[in-house]
Amino acid sequence: MVNFPKGMKRSIKKAALFILLTFFLSWVMAILFFGSGGRAYTAGWLVMTVTYMFIPAAMAVVVQKFVYKEPLKQPLGISFKLNRWFFVAWLLPVAIAFASVGISSVFPGVEFSAQPEGSRVFEHFRTLVPAERLQEMESQTASLPVHPFWFGLLMGLIAGVTINAVAGFGEELGWRGLLQREFGFMGFWKSSIVVGLIWGIWHAPIILHGHNYPYHPVAGIFMMTALTLLLAPIFSYVRLKSESVIAAAIIHGSFNATAGLPLVVIKGGSDLTVGVTGLAGFVVLGIVNVAILVYDRNFAKVPVTTGPNCF
């Protein structure tokens, strides 16, 4: 039997309670939604998934404030004090999206498409929305004064620091606010891996019903977990360097708002291979993780990826 130090044992118990409550409420809600006939990409689906995103934050508050009776603001990193890492959080996902276009285009059977009607995004929607709705979307795209990629980029930048960041906060207060802190005794990389694994598995019910990988729902669970494992150190690094879970919410929001951009200019491939959430994106995210390691060890004034505790 392992004898944990008192503080470590408390952190593990606190994290376990948070994980149990978050998974129970999230998965029960998803089971009830799909069990009652709910379908992906409907109005009900939108309400359910947005609610799903706020459960980690709600459970973080319950565990932190009402069970352990501890303050919220400082321990969970709720700070609006701006610094350069807020801008990194906002713009890094855009760079990831651009790089994913380049990596995707070297995959066999994949090419750059200047015409949005022939792009991966319209291939995707052809099987998910009614023909009349698809025709309407194509008409709206054709009427845009600029290419939809640039329009999507502008909208993504705005949404990334507004509505998407609010939704991102619903997850980040739990993952990078409470959970990353309680697992801080593991050190940066190990704690990020554990949080990333939990974060990915938490998505399983909605992935299984079409989120992100609609053509490969079972394989999508493993893909989503790989994605969160790669994202976790990036989001955690931003949270630690900014000293704010708000910055983590912004990078989460900006990532969600811009991750679909490559699909607007890519033709071919599948949901497992191209784009930010496919293998091409995994290559880019792997490079970003290596860049974090190199930067933190060689250029950062206060390294956070080394040492026994990331808080």
Predicted pLDDT at 32: 98
Predicted pLDDT at 41: 84
170-202 burial code (b ≥16 CB/10 A, e <16):
bbbbbbbbbbbbbbbbbbbbebbebbbebbbeb
Predicted pLDDT at 2: 44
Any residues with CB less than 8 A from the CB of 221 and at least 6 apart, and which?
201, 203, 204, 207, 208
Predicted pLDDT at 168: 98
Predicted pLDDT at 123: 65
89-98 burial code (b ≥16 CB/10 A, e <16):
bbbbbbebbe
Predicted pLDDT at 1: 42
The domain locations on the chain are: 6-298
- Residue 6, classified by CB atoms within 10 Å of its CB into exposed (0-12), middle (13-18) or buried (19+), is exposed
Predicted pLDDT at 89: 98
In this structure, the dihedral spanned by the alpha carbons of residues 106, 111, 112 and 117, taken in order and rounded to 10 degrees, is -150
Q: What is the pLDDT along the chain (311 residues), one digit of tens a residue?
A: 445 566 899 999 999 999 999 999 999 999 999 999 999 888 999 999 999 999 999 999 999 999 999 999 999 999 999 999 999 999 999 999 999 999 999 999 999 887 766 566 666 666 666 666 666 766 777 677 888 899 999 999 999 999 999 999 999 999 999 999 999 999 999 999 999 999 999 999 999 998 999 999 999 999 999 999 999 999 999 999 999 999 999 999 999 999 999 999 999 999 999 999 999 999 999 999 999 999 999 999 999 988 655 66
